[in-house]
Amino acid sequence: MLRLQRERMEGALLPSEQEFFQRYGLTEKRLALAKPDAIVMHPGPINRGVEIDSRVADGPQSVILEQVTNGIAVRMAIMSITLGHHARPVGEEV
């Protein structure tokens, strides 16, 4: 799932939040069309009832909490590698 920025909905060519959810929101019915081992990802924060139904976001196929939790560490590691810094154990002096 992608995050829809509510602040960008006003004045845009997007339908209302309710209409957006009816057309594009991830519901249990839509998720049932996916493979049984499909996982649900979303970068957060979630606009429940707009992008995704709460039952799906909190359901057994959701890895959203793990994704959000790990996202910061992964981005920091990528930036460190990109900038050429080598990771040091916590407490090690530079």
Percent of the chain past pLDDT 90, that is, above it, reads 41
pLDDT at 87 over 70: no
CA separation for the pair 91, 1 (Å, rounded): 38
Q: Smallest Cα–Cα separation from 40: which of 6, 2, 4?
A: 2
pLDDT at 3 over 90: no
Number of Cβ atoms within 10 Å of the Cβ of 75: 10
Mean of per-residue pLDDT scores for the chain: 85
Per-range mean pLDDT, top range of 7-21, 28-42, 73-87: 28-42
- Does the pTM surpass 0.75? The reply is no
Domains of the chain: 13-83 (3.40.50.1370)
Contact yes or no for 1/52 (Cβ under 8 A): yes
Question: Residue 85: what pLDDT?
Answer: 65
